[in-house]
Amino acid sequence: MMRRQVAIVFLAGASFIQLAWTQTAASDPKSWLTFSGNHAGWRYSQLEQINKANIRRVAPKWVFQTGDLGKFETTPLVENGVMYGTGQNGKAFALDARTGKAIWRYNPNLPADTRACCGNVNRGFAIHGDRLFMATLDAHVIALDKRTGNVLWDTTAVDYKLGYSFTVAPLAVKDKIIVGVSGGEFPIRGFVDAYSMDTGKRAWRFYTIPGLGEPGHESWSGDSWKYGGAPAWETGSYDPELNLVYWGTGNPAPSNYGGKREGANLYSNCMLALDADTGKLKWHFQFTPHDLWDYDATQTPILLDAAWQGKPRKLLLQADRNAFFYGLDRETGQFLFAKQFAGQNWAKGIDASGRPIVNPETVPTKEGVTVCPGWAGGVNWNPPSYSPQTNLFYVNAREEFCTIFGGHEETPLAGRYFYGSTFAPPANRKDWGALRALDPLTGDVKWEFKMYSAGWGGVLSTAGGLVFTGDNEGNFMAFDAATGENLWHFQTGSPIFAAPMSYELDGKQYIVIPAGSALLAFGLPE
Amino acid sequence: MEKTVFKQPKRAALWFGIVALAVFLTPSGSNAQEQMPPPVTPDTIDRGHAFFANNCGICHGVDAHNGDKGPDLNTGHFKHADNDADLFRVITHGVPGTIMPANDLPAEQVWAIIAFLRSTVVASRTVTGSNVAGGKAFFWKAGECVDCHMVSGKGGVLGPDLSAIGSLKTIAYLTQKIRDPDKELTTGLREPNADYVVPISNSTVTVTTKEGNQITGIPRNEDTFTIQMIGTDNQLHNFLKKDLQRIDHAQKSLMPAYGEKQLSDADLKNVLAYLSTLKGGRE
């Protein structure tokens, strides 16, 4: 797949800015071959059959049922008429992408005591050749034969009983599979791993907490580095020219008490730039140093080449869980700008070097303090989208979403929860959600659409001039990508915890969203 | 684009908060409706007792009293909670500064435990000098309580079903709810953790249609595009927001306040005595 994806396309947008577009979705835009649709994290489909003019006629074409309960978070992949997805409880499936009929199902015997904090979820496969790659709840990385679902290799990354798990969709880079571990709610030491696609042998590991003698180790007091969390539970992005993998990390543990982990706690809540071949750290940028509010920086970064302040730049953009939108130079890690995109009270601003000016009144106390954004952030993992057609960055923001965090010392016990906190929703606040379109070079909000509550839907943009997302009350919605006008919605019957994708088969475009136990495929009437 | 500005219902805020946390702590995603307390039956209380004994008995005693470490929980008064939402929070999140830990239990088990705890409050059920038959007569006739409340399958649907209210609420709580339905029962009850209090409060909604018709009632569900409610006519009404001029939420109960004019102290005692007999069985 990789060799076909290195095309560079230049686009003249509606605006005066010339955008260099590295890493197209694939040479064949009818497929969907990676978690984000391309390695730049865009979640953008070049298909335009479904567009602003006909979206109101779009209707369900088929529905696939996983048969399992729990949050359904996969982004399915489509290649040569077959759809490959992962379900709840470690399961997976291959479908006829025309009809949704199952070709095979993968039903592993997972141990009952896996340690996923927040549901037995998985966000999808990576694909290469005849192989599918999956990271599992019991902290294995496995390869399946895409034709049969048979296991080709099965590598144990780490002992899940210590609090580790995988929920991430792996990233396929060259001959390797890259994964990041989950478990920031447990006393773990996070890492990003690369495995040989061929053998399953581990090629490299980057510990997100530096060991003895390594730079950054001094940012942890005492033994706190041994169980300081910093997971890496969301799929990163990749720049083939720089050969760098960009991967976000999560909170230091325990999340709401910092008294025993004094220091900046590197590399928690960072964007990491790792050499794809060796895993060596090229640069890092820490969004929320010494985090006390669970502000994971794990959301998939969007890579964009654009003129920033008159100079061509290789940019990395992230709408961070801490409620600020960041622009970095992805060659050097240099901080360029930050702009608030969701309500917050924890920071009085971001200084010229990119460090937050923390509001001391939001430091958790034993009695509890009200902090915004609360435990799920200004946005959670649900991926954003970038459209080269509109030159806008789309993100689902969480508003009036606050938490009373009470922090207290806690003893780390292997495999047991390690929060250091009590948390509760404050009275008299009703959260709400907003799909926002941001200027990628400034973070200015160009439009927003308000939703009834703060949700978990990811975003897809398409060349049909549309943006798709789902809300917490089950509405799957389409918007005019330029204006934010709501053009279409469909009640799926379940809160949506996933991001849409799109593909084309037999000359027909489909838009797909998981909701509840169902994978729903939408298209135009015959 | 929806431009209507909606006043926010507190009850919805409460449930979304709890649901959000429940989603975070439990494997299954679910919506607000699924997380509402399930109906209480004698079976619920038995199961709640079992869950309680297994998870809480080591500190509080298997029957919710005479525990080694935790306080008795059958007195009708909880130090850190006196409504079900508070109890849900205390059970799932613990009490900061104490040894009461957070408990990672499915919501259904937590609600069963709460039902069990409510059923243990024996002492406060006694209403001295009262007349159950008189209370029943008032409830079903003069008081018009059944216009809104259902007991064992008969009555209205606007207010809570009271079939098992005798197992669920203290006399003090019921007295407050009858005399002053809008009073927030949690205010100022707990120190030093008063910030954690999430009061249950009432939610009323009034919608105005494009034609200017107004319908008031209890909101049942709402999303970005629709609202479903039970009107004061005891019927379900479903609306698309695009067909409405406005939606007004109020944190106010539709229950009328029964002061001493409408309900003498003697009659109140009788009504309380009658309500105490309602345990979820057949009349």
φ/ψ (deg, to 5) at A156: -80, 120
pLDDT over 70 (residue A492): yes
Tell me, yes or no, whether B100 and B134 share the same domain.
Answer: no
**Angstroms from A15 CA to nearest CA on chain B:** 24
Most confident of A16-20, A55-59, A429-433, B157-161: A55-59
Report the distance separating Cα A518 and Cα A476, nearest Å.
13
Q: Find the closest chain A residue to B201 by CA distance.
A: A428
Chain A interface includes B102 (CB < 8 A): yes
Report the distance separating Cα A58 and Cα A275, nearest Å.
43
Task: Compute the Cα dihedral for A174, A380, B96, A406 and give only its sign.
Answer: positive
Among B8, B16, B192, beta carbon nearest to A367? B192
- Residue B184 is predicted with a pLDDT of 57
**Angstroms from A186 CA to nearest CA on chain B:** 13
Confidence of residue B281 (pLDDT cuts 50, 70, 90): low
More confident residue, A275 or B117: A275
Tell me, yes or no, whether B238 and B267 share the same domain.
Answer: no
Chain B residues in contact with A366 (beta carbon < 8 A): 96-97
How many domains does chain A contain in total?
1
Q: Do A495 and B13 touch (CB under 8 A)?
A: no
The residues, any chain, with a CB within 8 Å of residue B148's CB and separated by 6 or more, are B155, B156, B157, B158, B159, B234, B254, B255
The residues, any chain, with a CB within 8 Å of residue A1's CB and separated by 6 or more, are A26, A33, A34, A127, A128, A172
Site of tokens 């949700």: A455
pLDDT over 60 (residue A493): yes
Burial class (CB within 10 angstroms; exposed 0-12, middle 13-18, buried 19+) of B48? buried
Report the distance separating Cα A437 and Cα A481, nearest Å.
8
Residue A193's H or E segment, with its range, is strand A191-196
**Angstroms from A341 CA to nearest CA on chain B:** 20
pLDDT over 90 (residue A5): no
Domain membership of residue B16 (yes or no) is yes
Confidence of residue B82 (pLDDT cuts 50, 70, 90): low
Tell me, yes or no, whether B135 and B156 share the same domain.
Answer: yes
Q: Find the closest chain A residue to B22 by CA distance.
A: A118
Helices vs strands, H then E, count in chain A: 0, 40
Q: Best interface-test mutation with A: which of B35, B196, B238 has the largest number of A CBs within 10 A?
A: B196
Among A375, A450, A486, beta carbon nearest to B24? A375
Domain membership of residue B42 (yes or no) is yes
Report the distance separating Cα A51 and Cα A480, nearest Å.
9
Choose among A234, A215, A276, A226: nearest CA to A253.
Answer: A226
- Residue B202 is predicted with a pLDDT of 67
**Angstroms from A12 CA to nearest CA on chain B:** 29
Chain A residues in contact with B86 (beta carbon < 8 A): none
Q: Do A404 and B97 touch (CB under 8 A)?
A: no
The CATH number of the domain holding residue B224 is 2.30.30.100
Chain A interface includes B11 (CB < 8 A): no
Domain membership of residue B154 (yes or no) is yes
Chain A interface includes B16 (CB < 8 A): yes
Q: Do A367 and B2 touch (CB under 8 A)?
A: no
Chain B residues in contact with A494 (beta carbon < 8 A): 29, 31
Whether A115 contacts A169, CB under 8 Å: no
Among A422, A429, A471, beta carbon nearest to B96? A422
The CATH number of the domain holding residue B63 is 1.10.760.10
**Angstroms from A482 CA to nearest CA on chain B:** 13
Whether A523 contacts A100, CB under 8 Å: no
Chain B residues in contact with A117 (beta carbon < 8 A): 24
Say if residue A44 is preceded by a cis peptide, omega within 30 of 0. Answer: no
Q: Do B24 and A424 touch (CB under 8 A)?
A: no
Among B12, B197, B199, beta carbon nearest to A430? B12
- Residue B185 is predicted with a pLDDT of 46
Q: Do B29 and A417 touch (CB under 8 A)?
A: no
Q: Find the closest chain A residue to B222 by CA distance.
A: A452
Report the distance separating Cα A401 and Cα A373, nearest Å.
5
Domain membership of residue B2 (yes or no) is no
Q: Do A430 and B13 touch (CB under 8 A)?
A: yes
Tell me, yes or no, whether B38 and B71 share the same domain.
Answer: yes
- Residue B201 is predicted with a pLDDT of 53
Confidence of residue B55 (pLDDT cuts 50, 70, 90): confident
Burial class (CB within 10 angstroms; exposed 0-12, middle 13-18, buried 19+) of B206? middle
Among A404, A489, A497, beta carbon nearest to B225? A489
Q: Best interface-test mutation with A: which of B104, B105, B195 has the largest number of A CBs within 10 A?
A: B195
Least confident window among A46-60, A171-185, A344-358, A394-408 = A394-408
- What is the DSSP annotation of B227-259? EEEEETTS-EEEEEGGGEEEEEEES--SSPP--
- The CB-based long-range contact list for A440-443 (8 Å cut-off, 24+ gap) reads A440/A302, A440/A304, A440/A306, A440/A315, A440/A317, A440/A327, A440/A386, A440/A391, A440/A392, A440/A393, A441/A17, A441/A306, A441/A308, A441/A315, A441/A327, A442/A337, A442/A339, A443/A325, A443/A327, A443/A337, A443/A338, A443/A339, A443/A340, A443/A341
Domain extent, residue A116, equals 2-62+71-523
Domain extent, residue B173, equals 127-183+258-276
Q: Do A449 and B1 touch (CB under 8 A)?
A: yes
Confidence of residue B181 (pLDDT cuts 50, 70, 90): confident
**What single letter denotes the amino acid at residue A450?**
K
Tell me, yes or no, whether B141 and B178 share the same domain.
Answer: yes
Domain membership of residue B115 (yes or no) is yes
Chain B residues in contact with A451 (beta carbon < 8 A): 224
Chain B residues in contact with A422 (beta carbon < 8 A): 93-96, 102, 196
- Residue B167 is predicted with a pLDDT of 67
Chain B residues in contact with A72 (beta carbon < 8 A): 29
Least confident window among A139-153, B5-19, B65-79, B209-223 = B5-19
ipTM associated with this complex: 0.82
Site of tokens 């409408």: B262
The CATH number of the domain holding residue A151 is 2.140.10.10
Confidence of residue B44 (pLDDT cuts 50, 70, 90): confident
**Angstroms from A68 CA to nearest CA on chain B:** 10
- Residue A473 is predicted with a pLDDT of 94
Tell me, yes or no, whether B99 and B25 share the same domain.
Answer: yes
Chain B residues in contact with A426 (beta carbon < 8 A): 17, 195, 198
pTM of the model: 0.81
Least confident window among A93-102, A389-398, B243-252 = B243-252
The residues, any chain, with a CB within 8 Å of residue A187's CB and separated by 6 or more, are A163, A226, A227, A229, A253, A254, A412, A413, A414, A416, A418
Chain A interface includes B188 (CB < 8 A): no
Tell me, yes or no, whether B27 and B167 share the same domain.
Answer: no
**Angstroms from B17 CA to nearest CA on chain A:** 5
Active site residues of A: 294
Tell me, yes or no, whether B17 and B92 share the same domain.
Answer: yes
Whether A493 contacts A474, CB under 8 Å: yes
**Angstroms from A491 CA to nearest CA on chain B:** 10
- Residue B14 is predicted with a pLDDT of 33
- The CB-based long-range contact list for B75-83 (8 Å cut-off, 24+ gap) reads B75/B121, B75/B123, B75/B124, B76/B121, B76/B123, B76/B124, B76/B170, B76/B171, B76/B172, B77/B170, B79/B190, B80/B190, B80/B193, B80/B196, B82/B173, B82/B185, B82/B186, B82/B189, B83/B173, B83/B185, B83/B186, B83/B199, B83/B200
Chain A interface includes B67 (CB < 8 A): no
Coil/strand/helix, residue B191: coil
Among B93, B104, B199, beta carbon nearest to A427? B199
Among B2, B24, B89, beta carbon nearest to A118? B24
Chain A residues in contact with B12 (beta carbon < 8 A): 430
Among A376, A426, A452, beta carbon nearest to B223? A452
Q: Do B13 and A431 touch (CB under 8 A)?
A: yes
Q: What would the two tokens of residue B256 be? A: 């009328």
More confident residue, A112 or A223: A223
Q: Find the closest chain A residue to B190 by CA distance.
A: A367
